[in-house]
Every structure is written in structure tokens, then in C-alpha cells.
Amino acid sequence: MFMNFLHSTYCNAAIFAGIIFVFMGYFIRRYPPKSIKSWYGYRSALASRSPEMWQAANQHAAYISRRIGIILIPTGLACALFFDSQTDWFWYITVGAVVTGAMYMVGYTEWQLQQIEPESPEDNDNL
């Protein structure tokens, strides 16, 4: 029975990753990491510059993570209904959606952090 599920189209990356993205976004929103040294949270060089940047990064990443998960789950279900078996295109679409979602989350969060990053004193010397 378990092997039948593993080989069915309902066992796909988009559904599983979508559930993880929704859970991760909810968890980080509900229990935000207190400091940069926490064992979980959105980590990047830009997010680690200050506690304010850390909080903003985790807030944005949690928001986008939930939204991506809400998109991935129906995508995985649609692929499960559309495809009869786990073909190459099935894997390209389901895994590609997960990779695209993760890249979007990182890109959007980093872009948001760049928008709130304070100007450096060297930038004001050139005026």
C-alpha cells in the first residue's frame, strides 16, 4: 500500500514542499526567532547585519513562505490529477515549481531588506 502511494502522482514534491512552506511560514510568524543565534529563521548576510534587519527578514520570509505554500499545494494536486504516472514532465513541473518558489522567497526577502537598509555615511559624502 505504501509503495502504491510512492508511485502514485499524489506523491510529488509540490504537495510535500507546499505543506512544509505553509508550516514553516506559520511557525516563524507565530514564534519569531528572538535573536540571530536562534537555531531557526531566515539566514543571509543581509539579514544578519542588525536585529532590526533580522526581524524584518523573518517577517517577510514567513509571509512569502505561506503564500508560496498556498500556491504549491494546488499545483501539486493539479499535476496529480493531470498526469497518469510520474513521467519526466511530471517531475520537471512539480520540482520546478518548488525551486521557483524557493528562489522567489529568497529574492523577494533580499529585495525587501535592501529597501529598508539604512544608507551608509560614505554615500552622503558624495553629495
Does residue 118 have a pLDDT over 80?
A: no
Q: What is the pLDDT of residue 123?
A: 52
- Average confidence (pLDDT) over 80-107: 94
Yes or no: say if 40 and 54 are a contact pair by the CB < 8 Å rule. no
AA identity, residue 113: L
pTM: predicted TM-score of the whole model, two decimal places: 0.84
pLDDT digits 0-9 by tens, 49-72: 989 999 999 999 999 999 999 999
Alpha-carbon dihedral 48, 52, 57, 59, rounded to 10 degrees:
150
Mean pLDDT over each residue of the chain, to the nearest integer? 89
- pLDDT-derived band at 11 (thresholds 50, 70, 90) equals confident
Does residue 37 have a pLDDT over 80?
A: yes
